[in-house]
Each structure stands twice: as structure tokens, then as C-alpha cells.
Amino acid sequence: MGEPIIKFIDVHKSFETPTGETQRVLKGVNFGIMPGMTTVIGGGSGQGKSVAIKLVLGLMQPDSGQILVNGEDITKMDRKELNEVRKNFGVLFQSVALFDSLTVFENVALPLREKTKQNKKEIHEKVTSSLTQFDLQGHEEKFPAQLSGGMQKRVGLARALQLQPEIMLFDEPTTGLDPTRSLEIYRLFHKIQRELGYTSIIVSHDIPKIFNLADRIVVMHDGKAKVFNSSEEIQWSNDPVIQDFVQVTMGHIYQSRQENE
């Protein structure tokens, strides 16, 4: 399977609560993210999933441990080195953060205009082809407020992919969508990931919806991370914590699978 593109080695992170207590969020987290695959990071609310994403981006420092990106420890890097590493990343968070005053076309074109020297024609071709890939043709001149939630997410991903990141980080990207729409969005994300081959890391508490689309699943619980290579592996885990997790978050998908048979 090769070397992980991202590796957490014994990562610890605590916060001080407003009442002055220490809250230990990550208590020795170890996992690797394999290149070109989709890894879903699941787990209950408050288990440190978003903290893990912020650590990968260098937006936060761990208290101890190493975080390797392409073999290099980003926790030891200065701002300049970190900015170089960040060029490998594309992000899509809960709030898609489109610019309200820019059209769909302009939103998607923005990274190319700001970060590359491509001319107008090249940018036009590239953006047009992305918009087609994301089924957004005919909506170029609309503003974000005129789009459905699902369309906004698609525009957000199209924009995040313009600079061809090696790694895409998604933190609860379907927040605000109804279950059917979010499944559609996850399917589209999966299809695009397969087409473009980047490494995809999706934080989601919606494990049942997406576990069929994940190559690997990392479950975060009580400050630790557990890695599974398939949904079956989760299902058959002897770990009581994971069994609980399966019961609570995956129970109905197995049921619905049976119903389909």
C-alpha cells in the first residue's frame, strides 16, 4: 500500500476550559492516511475530529507528538515552510465560505486569478470544464444566494480543486443538507476523487451514509483513534466502544441493506 501521506504519531492535545481545568482531547493519537484514497474520520461530537484537521493544516500545534506530511514533521516547521506544505491542501468546511458578491464562475475562478499566472482564456476554459464536471453548467452567472445548499457545496469543492491539491480535507461538508442531498453530495465527491486521484479526508458523523464510499475509516473516541480497512472490519470489532459505535451509528444501514436484499 506504500507510505502514508499523512501520519499522526502519538499526538497529544489538551485545552484549558473556562473554569481552569485541563481537557485532554487527544491522548496519544496514531493513524496514517494513505495516498489516493478516501479516509473517513468518524466519531461522536467533541471527540477531536476538527482538532485533528486543524493540526494537519498547522492551524494548531499539538502538545506533543509528530504530524508527518509527505514524511516531514510539520510541528517543527516555521511559518514559511508551513505555507509551502499548505499549498498541497484544499479544504471544504461546514460553512462553504463562498463570496456572496461573486458569481459562481468568479468564485471558482478566484484561486486561479489570485494564485496563478494563467490568462483569461485559460482560466475560462478550466473553470468551464470544472463547472461541467460538477453539473453546474448554466449556473455560471448566479450568485451563491440563488443556489440550493447542495449546489453551494459543489461550487465550494470545484473552487477548492482549482489549484489541484494533493490532499482534500472536508470537515462535515454536508452540514445543512437533508439526508438524501448529503448522500448525493458524498457520491459526487467520491466520483470526483476517483477521477482526479487526490487523497481525500472526510470528517463526518454521518458514517452510515458514507462508509460505503470510504476506503478506510478512522474512529475517534476518548482521545484515541482506531483505524479500520473496511466497514466489515468495524462491524466485527470485539472492542465494546466500537460495538457501541456500530450500534448507534451504523445499526440501521445494515438493516436497510437487508431490506434491499
Ligand X SMILES: Nc1ncnc2c1ncn2[C@@H]1O[C@H](COP(=O)(O)OP(=O)(O)O)[C@@H](O)[C@H]1O
Which CB, 19 or 45, lies closer to ligand X? 45
Stretch that binds Mg ion, among 27-35, 50-58, 126-134, 145-153 (CB under 5 A): 50-58
Which CB, 43 or 165, lies closer to ligand X? 43
Q: How far is the CB of 53 from ligand X (least distance, A)?
A: 8
Q: Which does 25 bind (CB under 5 to 8 A by kind): ligand X, Mg ion, none?
A: ligand X
Q: Which residues face 239 on adjacent strands?
A: none
Which CB, 50 or 174, lies closer to Mg ion? 50
Is residue 47 near Mg ion by the rule CB under 5 A? Answer: no
* Footprint on residues 14-73 left by ligand X (CB under 6 A): 15, 25, 43, 45-51
Q: How far is the CB of 46 from ligand X (least distance, A)?
A: 4
The span from the CA of 53 to the CA of 43, in Å, is 14
Q: Which does 7 bind (CB under 5 to 8 A by kind): ligand X, Mg ion, none?
A: none
Helices and strands in the chain, H and E counts: 10, 10
Which CB, 124 or 205, lies closer to Mg ion? 205
* Footprint on residues 227-246 left by Mg ion (CB under 5 A): none
Q: Which does 39 bind (CB under 5 to 8 A by kind): ligand X, Mg ion, none?
A: none
Q: How far is the CB of 202 from Mg ion (least distance, A)?
A: 12
Q: Are 196 and 133 in contact (CB under 8 A)?
A: no
Q: How far is the CB of 14 from ligand X (least distance, A)?
A: 9
Q: How far is the CB of 86 from ligand X (least distance, A)?
A: 19
Q: How far is the CB of 43 from ligand X (least distance, A)?
A: 6
The footprint of Mg ion on this chain (CB under 5 A) covers a number of residues equal to 2
Q: Are 212 and 201 in contact (CB under 8 A)?
A: no
Q: Which three cell numbers stand for residue 69?
A: 506530511
Q: How far is the CB of 127 from ligand X (least distance, A)?
A: 32
| Three-class HEC string of the chain | CCCCCEEEEEEEEEEECCCCCEEEEEEEEEEEECCCCEEEEECCCCCCHHHHHHHHCCCCCCCEEEEEECCEEHHHCCHHHHHHHHCCEEEECCCCCCCCCCCHHHHHHHHHHHHCCCCHHHHHHHHHHHHHHCCCCCCCCCCHHHCCHHHHHHHHHHHHCCCCCCEEEEECCCCCCCHHHHHHHHHHHHHHHHHHCCEEEEECCCHHHHHHHCCEEEEEECCEEEEECCHHHHHCCCCHHHHHHHHHHHHHHHHHHHHHC
Stretch that binds Mg ion, among 49-57, 103-111, 227-235, 240-248 (CB under 5 A): 49-57
Q: Tell which one of 38, 50, 162, 199 touches Mg ion (CB under 5 A).
A: 50
Residues in contact with ligand X by the rule CB under 6 A: 15, 25, 43, 45-51
Residues in contact with Mg ion by the rule CB under 5 A: 49-50
